[in-house]
A = this chain, B = another copy of it.
Amino acid sequence: MKVSTVDIEKTAMLLKLLGDKTRLTMVKILDSHDCCVCEFVEIFKMSQPAISQHVRKLKNVGIVGETRRGQWVIYSLNKQSEYYPLIQDLLEHLPNQDDKLQELEEQGLRISCE
- A15-B15, A16-B16 given; A94·B5 CB < 8 A: yes
Contact status A93-B85, CB under 8 Å: yes
Contact status B86-A3, CB under 8 Å: no
Which residues of B have CB within 8 Å of A28? 8
Which residues of B have CB within 8 Å of A8? 21, 24-25, 28, 94-95, 97
Which residue of the partner chain B has the closest CB to A87?
A: B93
Bound complex: CA A88 to CA B20 (Å): 20
Residues 1-48 of A contacting B (Cβ, < 8 Å): 3-9, 11-21, 23-25, 28
Interface residues on A, range: 20 to 34
Bound complex: CA A89 to CA B20 (Å): 19
Shortest CB–CB separation between residue A40 and chain B, in angstroms? 15
Contact status B12-A95, CB under 8 Å: no
- A11-B24, A24-B11, A24-B12 given; A93·B19 CB < 8 A: no
> Is A61 at the interface (CB under 8 A from chain B)?
no
Contact status B21-A18, CB under 8 Å: no
Q: 3 closest A-B pairs (Cβ-Cβ)?
A: A16-B19, A15-B19, A12-B21
